[in-house]
Chains A and B, each alone.
Chain A
Amino acid sequence: MGKLIVHQEKAQDIAALIKICPFGAMENKNGRIEINAACRLCKLCVKRGKGVFEFVESENFSGVDKSAWRGIAVYVDHVNGKIHPVTYELIGKARELAAKINQPVYAVFLGENISQKAQEILHYGVDKVYTCDKKELRAFNIENYAIAFENFIEKIKPAVVLVGATPVGRQLAPRVAAHFHTGLTADCTILDIHENTDLVQIRPAFGGNIMAEILTPNHRPQMATVRYKIMDAPKRSEEIFGSIEQLELDSAKFTSKVEVLSVIKKPREIGIENADILVVAGRGVKKKEDLKLVRELAEVLNGDYACTRPLVECGWLEPKRQIGLSGRTVRPKLIITCGVSGSVQFVAGMEHSEQIFAINSDPKASIFKVANYAVVGDLYEIVPKLIEKIKRGRGIA
């Protein structure tokens, strides 16, 4: 917390100083350096500006009483009581974090007729499941769900709240975070915790090949969302641990005027998320017709095919085949990338795949940093031969 000060008298080569800023946030106004609204306070200019720029910390915030906020809470993501598996993955992470600070793990389950289903969560090692079982929570309505969620946070005061980055979690979490005027970090890929219960949140940032470590040091609860298939779910144990407690909430509190008219099943799609084997096309594929190489390799391996963002943007494949932060997260047993450079956005969506083969002719491609097998070569030479060999091995050629 603080602000940037420019010591104009020390500035000599203004043009050179302006160039330091990667966001173009400095301007030369009649021989004075002015910082405009593009400034992200990355403090790069402080590091490299030879004393011209100074970052002045504001006096410390009074802050919150961190000892009043205890435990790691996980939001139980579900539709009609059917629990989304990201919930168990988050419980696994929550247990790990809670063990470090010796605090409890909570699950918060909001819905209608869910009390029985809450029993299932006790097989995964939480200390307590808090339920709010109300007819107003039958179908997802952001206002009513937020009210019930806020009721939980006000009563239990958890230090950390983890929410799955599902279509529901991604709207509910910000609504609740804004209510408490607290921080929320989206799509964390790594989570850790300090002894003082400050949550270490790591995610790709600035839309590029950069990771940022983020803290919420003066606010509670600390909130973060995590995508499906990023963390590891614990094994379901036969015995149950912990207990279930019903949270009271007066029905009059549910004031939403939004009406849910119907909930229908989406037509069943076999998505790339569920594939065990994936072959991925990147920008190294030169023409739309050449996608057949990728499709055919997927076919002979009995797998599915996917692609990177640029291929969706130029209309070669549908968005549902896109891997990455703005597409789908996948965790197949085998993934073969063909001509994929490997932006952070893409890698975040597939780095947990079990075996990664990356084919790219550029030996410096960043995809090779996550690949188990970095194959430096031309996909147009390798893939057709590979398809032949697999066909021959299977006796289909």
Chain B
Amino acid sequence: MKILVCIKQVPSTNKVEVDPATGILKRNSAEAKMNPYDLFALETGLRLREKYGGNLSVLTMGPPQAAAILYEAFAMGADRGALITDRKFGGSDVLATSYTLSQGIGKFGRFDIIICGLQTTDGDTAQVGPEVSEMLGIPCVCNVRAIDKVESNHIIVDMEMSEDIEKLKVPFPCLITVQKDIYEPRLPSYKKQKATANREISRYSLNDMGDKNEKHYGLDGSPTNVQRIFPPSSDKVQEKWTGSGEDLSERIYEALKKMKFTA
């Protein structure tokens, strides 16, 4: 079975603020890590490979330093990796990102199953997986909470819904996004890390894509435009209380009593 896992590098912290006076972004840390949700996708891919054979590829898109997470995936057991990187992809929204990924996947190979994490911790949209599936013209199942089994040319999975669980039989090729906690992700192995430290990865830029039209990528290929960014505001009626623990607990208690939350 040919398995592809799509992963993303995200900022380590969420400490980004806007200066209210200038409207300017302040980012305190440049540190980055693999999107935590992708660890579950990677683990799912590794288990499928271990049980049913085949090979596991990882793909990411981002700045050159995003290659670091491909090596992290190698240390967990991935076989080969590719990085999609080009300044022309900067400013991509969900659609342009999905399009770039689908083009990169076309370049990277043919896969039976593509596995994505549920969402990222920086974008939090959970939309790229299903958009990629549409662009590749393959079926997609999101929120997969368990994999039942793989048979000759299909996979049987449990999809979580609001109140129900749907069991689906999905033919290959297909794309799934997996929930957190589907499996416990393994730790990277030091031995594998040493063995794969110099492994070659593929790098794709706009010139490697099937569609080389610049207008379909980056900001130009993004239907959504960020008009402005601003700090969140609040127009609530507010009171600020300070004092000793005794005073404050008494005030909260009196307020709760008045609002009839307690006797």
Contacts and interface: CB of A to CB of B under 8 A. Distances in A.
B257 A374 contact: no
Does more than half of chain A's interface fall in helix, strand or loop, or is it mixed?
mixed
A213 B219 contact: no
Contact of A374 (B166, B170, B218, B240): B240
B142 A170 contact: yes
Contacts of B131: 174-175, 177-178, 184
A36 B26 CA distance: 19
A42 B171 contact: no
B17 A378 contact: no
A173 B27 contact: no
B25 to A, nearest CB: 5
Contacts of A172: 130
A290 interface: no
Interface in A314-369: 319, 325-326, 333-334, 336, 343-345, 347, 351, 355-357, 359, 363, 368-369
A232 interface: no
Interface stretch (A105-113, A240-248, A252-260): A252-260
A261 B241 CA distance: 57
Contact of A210 (B17, B89, B218): B17
Interface stretch (B8-16, B41-49, B68-76, B187-195): B8-16
A291 interface: no
A183 B124 contact: no
Does more than half of chain B's interface fall in helix, strand or loop, or is it mixed?
mixed
B180 interface: yes
B227 interface: yes
B232 A347 contact: yes
A182 B95 contact: yes
A262 B169 CA distance: 10
A270 B158 CA distance: 22
A214 B224 contact: yes
B63 A36 contact: yes
A184 B95 contact: yes
Interface stretch (A119-127, A129-137, A138-146): A138-146
Contact of A264 (B165, B233, B263): B165
Contacts of A266: 160-161, 163-165
Contacts of B95: 177-178, 181-184
Given A22-B16, A370-B234, A219 B248 contact: no
B63 A301 contact: no
Contact of B223 (A218, A256, A382): A218
Interface in B193-251: 218-220, 222-234, 236-246, 248-251
Contacts of A256: 139
A377 B25 contact: no
A393 B253 contact: yes
Given A48-B24, A184-B95, A206-B25, A375 B248 contact: yes
B229 A211 contact: yes
Interface stretch (A7-15, A90-98, A152-160, A384-392): A384-392
Given A22-B25, A264-B164, A258 B130 contact: no
A151 interface: no
28 contacts: A22-B25, A36-B64, A39-B90, A141-B168, A142-B139, A171-B141, A183-B223, A183-B224, A184-B127, A207-B123, A208-B15, A209-B14, A209-B17, A211-B230, A212-B228, A214-B227, A257-B139, A260-B168, A263-B164, A313-B36, A319-B180, A325-B124, A326-B121, A359-B252, A374-B238, A376-B240, A377-B245, A393-B262
Interface of B: 10-11, 14-18, 22, 24-27, 30, 36, 62-65, 85-87, 89-91, 93-95, 98, 119, 121-135, 139-143, 156, 159-171, 177, 180-181, 218-220, 222-234, 236-246, 248-253, 255-257, 259, 261-263
